[in-house]
Amino acid sequence: MWSLGLLKTMKDPKYMVFSDTKIVMIKDMYPKAEHHFLVLPHEEITNLKKVTEKDIPLLEYMFEKAKQYTSKHFPDVEFKFGYHAQPSMHRLHLHVISKDMNSEFLKNKKHWNSFTTEFFMNSSDILRQLKTSGKIKFPSAAECELMMKRELKCHRCNLVFPTIPKLKQHIRSHRAD
DNA sequence: GTTCTAGAAC
DNA sequence: GTTCTAGAAC
């Protein structure tokens, strides 16, 4: 089953960039930016929906290790850290992705909107919610569907583009900024 | 999650 | 005619 693919990838030395007793950090097999990693716990947490107050220390640890890794290896690159509201793959995974969004693997509207709308839930927001209310507020399935269908808007300058190829061409032009 | 491809959109 | 999207995958 394809949705179990991450469980195999997280054991593959070819993709692993860091691991310890609690977590594994891997390269995303289909990076949606110039740098894109995933941080996964060894603990069998299926997804963000299963996360509760008791997992706060683990989520903080994942976030801290991700920040340590990127600041050490890519001190000049800006990253964002967060979770998809409706992940496709099993095992909780924190996306660690550079803000360029420039990648040959970014091919469709869902790819784009899953990282540039509220579908992407920042790690710091998730932790704040867990600490203040003990739970996480998710967008509904209908809201997620609408977010995925949203217009293609540049995350840097808010310009709107009619197609993915036009958007991608524009995104590349921001690299020289 | 990706690949493939029919047919919509241009 | 070509580009591009969107839905099936047994």
The residue ranking higher by pLDDT, A177 or A18, is A18
| Spacing of A164 CA from C5 C1' in Å | 9
Q: Which window residues (128-167, chain A) lie with Cβ within 7 Å of strand B?
A: 162
So what's the pLDDT on residue A175? 82
Can you give the pTM of this predicted structure?
Answer: 0.97
Query: What residues approach strand C to within 7 A at the CB?
Result: A 108-109, 163-166
Q: Judge residue A16's burial from the number of C-beta atoms within 10 Å of its C-beta, 0-12 exposed, 13-18 middle, 19 or more buried.
A: middle
pLDDT digit string, tens, across residues A114-167: 999 999 999 999 999 999 999 999 999 999 999 999 999 999 999 999 999 999
Positions of A marked catalytic:
93
pLDDT at A176 over 90: no
Nearest DNA or RNA nucleotide to A161 (CA to C1')? C4
Report percent pLDDT > 70 for chain A: 99
